[in-house]
């Protein structure tokens, strides 16, 4: 199971998604940078949760659509 995190620096929020969530973009944004924001995939939930911690945003949430 792949997990995705979406880092949104502009609104100071990181969101956890499951693979195949409708909100996950089908194309990868090569310009994504961990410190700038964007979409990042992880092979397991533990690493995704760790990445959410390291993102350092004020808000951490689970996607209401896919509910990881």
Least CB distance to Zn ion at residue 14 (A)? 12
* Torsional sign, CA 6, 3, 42, 30: negative
Nearer CB in complex with Zn ion: 22/31: 22
Contact residues for Zn ion, defined by CB under 5 A: 17, 21, 23, 63, 65-66
Residue 26: CB minimum distance to Zn ion, A: 14
Tally Cβ neighbours within 10 Å of residue 48.
Answer: 22
Please tell me the distance from the alpha carbon of residue 21 to that of residue 7, in angstroms, as a whole number.
16
Q: How far is the CB of 28 from Zn ion (least distance, A)?
A: 16
């Amino acid at each position: 199971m792949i997990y995705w995190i979406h880092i949104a620096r502009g609104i100071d929020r990181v969101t956890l998604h499951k693979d195949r969530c409708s909100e996950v973009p089908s194309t990868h944004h090569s310009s994504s940078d961990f410190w700038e924001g964007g979409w990042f995939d992880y092979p397991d939930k533990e690493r995704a949760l760790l990445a959410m911690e390291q993102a350092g945003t004020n808000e951490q949430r689970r996607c209401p659509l896919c509910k990881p």
